[in-house]
């Protein structure tokens, strides 16, 4: 029988530290030819809603995942979720359906894990201040994940909604107690510019359609994780100047050049060329390409999110090891 696992169960199945290592391995596998990550085909449905089927295969684990993501901006006004997803896990050798997983928990956790992997590979080791532009649940997960790879002692945060910042603070304290880690200082700031000015590591976590961070604000030595923009070619959080000014690393170059507004709009504006987006995180992790090469360099991980990261989460949730042995969720 196929296991069907809902989000409430998934939240307790995967350890964040183990997930960070699994995502690191998945990106390395992609660079070494041990995994396949094809470009997804986007399908428009009613109104502005899109359906994005995302596929990835791990040859090492013998798994394929098919994640079906919907992005429905119209749900926001009704108080519903804008993004929803379901992950189908298959045995890539036999085609057997192993499990169907709700996507929200896994997407949140693997996204933060990917930012932690990129931060560990690219940010200066003396980074201490984490800046968050956006204060939703993904912000809490990012604090937890990035604290695993850097000795962060202060968080600065901005959101358009003061109530959301307050909720973020409350949820973060709950998470710290659950994780058994000391409370970290949290400071709410009045603008994205102030967050950029203060941060050593900056995470942008908003579904913005127009740039919310300008390249002129970025500071020498800073690392940026651009995370929040949905996989739509007309959405971006970082302006073209920022993409041009930073040394950019991506999760998948082919997927980025197909779906990322940060990439496509900066190309349209003539600020960058396709070569600017060919440095993949996995190649850095596999020692096939350089990462940060100087203290003053501005590095930027453009995280559009790939199905191979969902596969890494699913393998841990289902307790699937490289020998192909499977446990039960």
- pLDDT per residue over 282-313, tens digit each? 999 999 999 999 999 999 999 999 999 999 99
User: Quick one: 199 and 280 in the same domain?
Assistant: yes
Distance CA 308, CA 305 (A): 9
Looking at residue 40, the DSSP 8-state letter turns out to be: P
207 domain-assigned = yes
pLDDT in tens, 44-93: 666 688 888 999 999 999 999 999 998 888 787 777 788 899 999 999 99
pLDDT in tens, 100-113: 999 999 999 999 99
pLDDT in tens, 220-243: 999 999 999 988 889 999 999 999
SS3 139: helix
Tell me, what CATH number does 286's domain have? 3.40.50.720
SS3 171: helix
Least-confidence region, from 5-19, 131-145, 192-206, 243-257: 5-19
Q: What's the whole-model pTM score? A: 0.94
Distance CA 130, CA 302 (A): 17
pLDDT range class, residue 245, cuts 50, 70, 90: very high
User: Quick one: 286 and 313 in the same domain?
Assistant: no
User: Quick one: 159 and 269 in the same domain?
Assistant: yes
pLDDT in tens, 258-284: 999 999 999 999 999 999 999 999 999
Distance CA 227, CA 211 (A): 13
For residues 243 and 300, the answer to whether their CB atoms sit within 8 Å is yes
- pLDDT, position 54: 94
Count of the separate structural domains present in the chain: 2
User: Quick one: 274 and 186 in the same domain?
Assistant: yes
Tell me, what CATH number does 79's domain have? 3.30.1780.10
- pLDDT, position 176: 97
For residues 316 and 325, the answer to whether their CB atoms sit within 8 Å is no
pLDDT range class, residue 37, cuts 50, 70, 90: very high
Domain that includes residue 9, residue range: 3-106+308-317
Q: How far is CA 190 from CA 140, 152, 162, 198, 276, in A?
A: 19, 21, 10, 12, 32
- pLDDT, position 47: 65
Looking at residue 216, the DSSP 8-state letter turns out to be: G
- pLDDT, position 71: 83
- pLDDT, position 329: 43
User: Quick one: 32 and 92 in the same domain?
Assistant: yes
User: Quick one: 102 and 129 in the same domain?
Assistant: no
For residues 291 and 31, the answer to whether their CB atoms sit within 8 Å is no
User: Quick one: 312 and 288 in the same domain?
Assistant: no
Residue 322 has pLDDT above 70, yes or no: no
pLDDT in tens, 149-183: 999 999 999 999 999 999 999 999 999 999 999 99
Residue 328 has pLDDT above 50, yes or no: no
Q: Which residues make beta-bridge pairs with 52?
A: 69
324 domain-assigned = no
User: Quick one: 51 and 97 in the same domain?
Assistant: yes
């Amino acid at each position: 029988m196929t296991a069907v696992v809902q989000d409430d169960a998934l939240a307790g199945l995967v350890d964040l530290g183990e997930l960070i290592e699994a995502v690191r391995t998945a990106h390395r596998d992609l660079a070494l030819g041990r995994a396949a990550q094809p470009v997804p085909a986007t399908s428009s449905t009613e109104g502005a809603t899109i359906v994005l089927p995302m596929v990835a295969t791990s040859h090492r684990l013998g798994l394929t995942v098919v994640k079906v993501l919907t992005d429905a901006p119209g749900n926001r006004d009704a108080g519903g979720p804008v993004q929803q997803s379901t992950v189908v896990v298959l045995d890539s050798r036999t085609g057997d359906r192993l499990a169907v997983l709700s996507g929200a928990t896994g997407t949140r956790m693997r996204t933060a894990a990917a930012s932690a992997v990129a931060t560990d590979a690219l940010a200066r080791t003396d980074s201490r201040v984490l800046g968050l532009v956006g204060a939703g649940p993904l912000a809490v997960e990012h604090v937890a994940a990035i604290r695993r790879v850097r000795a962060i002692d202060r968080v600065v945060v901005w959101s358009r909604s003061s109530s959301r910042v307050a909720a973020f603070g409350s949820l973060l304290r709950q998470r710290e107690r659950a994780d058994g880690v000391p409370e970290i200082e949290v400071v709410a700031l009045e603008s994205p510019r102030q967050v950029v000015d203060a941060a050593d590591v900056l995470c942008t976590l908003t579904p913005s359609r127009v740039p919310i961070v300008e390249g002129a604000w970025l500071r020498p030595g800073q690392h940026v994780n651009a995370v929040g923009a949905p996989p739509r070619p007309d959405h971006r959080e970082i302006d073209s100047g920022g993409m041009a000014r930073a040394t950019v690393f991506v999760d998948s170059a082919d997927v980025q050049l197909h779906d990322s507004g940060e990439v496509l709009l900066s190309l349209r504006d003539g600020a960058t060329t396709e070569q600017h987006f060919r440095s993949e995180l996995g190649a850095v992790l596999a020692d096939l390409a350089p990462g940060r090469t100087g203290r003053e360099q501005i590095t930027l991980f453009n995280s559009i999110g790939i199905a191979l990261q969902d596969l890494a989460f699913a393998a841990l949730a289902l307790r699937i090891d490289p020998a192909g042995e499977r446990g039960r969720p």
